[in-house]
Amino acid sequence: AQSVSQHNHHVILSEAASLELGCNYSYGGTVNLFWYVQYPGQHLQLLLKYFSGDPLVKGIKGFEAEFIKSKFSFNLRKPSVQWSDTAEYFCAVKGYGGSQGNLIFGKGTKLSVKP
């Protein structure tokens, strides 16, 4: 069965620190990978996505993620976080192809950035 693991439940950083959030997935086929962000009291918004090609993908607000197929990982990074990045971050995986399952989410990582 498909599953997504996010290793950190809560990460606390100071502004300007670098961020890396871990994500590993389990799926026996080609996948599409996503990171979503949920700001306090808001809906989930797509940060970035990977389908194929360059394993380093860039998203909005300076975020990027690297797909490492051999490690089944899709870690999210940002060189310098801001207080406004305080939010919950969700990694998600979907089997490639319209009929291949649905978006499966990890349990999320809460990021708190201290000003």
Partner 1 sequence: DSGVTQTPKHLITATGQRVTLRCSPRSGDLSVYWYQQSLDQGLQFLIQYYNGEERAKGNILERFSAQQFPDLHSELNLSSLELGDSALYFCASSGGGGDYGYTFGSGTRLTVV
Residues that bind partner 1 (CB under 8 A): 32, 34, 36, 42-46, 49, 51, 90, 94, 96-108
CB of 53 to partner 1, least distance (A): 14
Distance from C-alpha of 70 to C-alpha of 77, rounded to nearest angstrom? 19
Shortest distance, CB of residue 110 to partner 1, whole angstroms?
Answer: 11
Q: How many other CB atoms are found less than 10 A from the CB of residue 35?
A: 24
Cβ distance to partner 1 smaller for residue 70 or 99: 99
Residue 34 or 67: the one with the smaller Cβ distance to partner 1 is 34
> For residue 2, which phi and psi values (nearest 5 degrees)?
-70, 145
Q: Which 8-state DSSP code applies to residue 17?
A: -
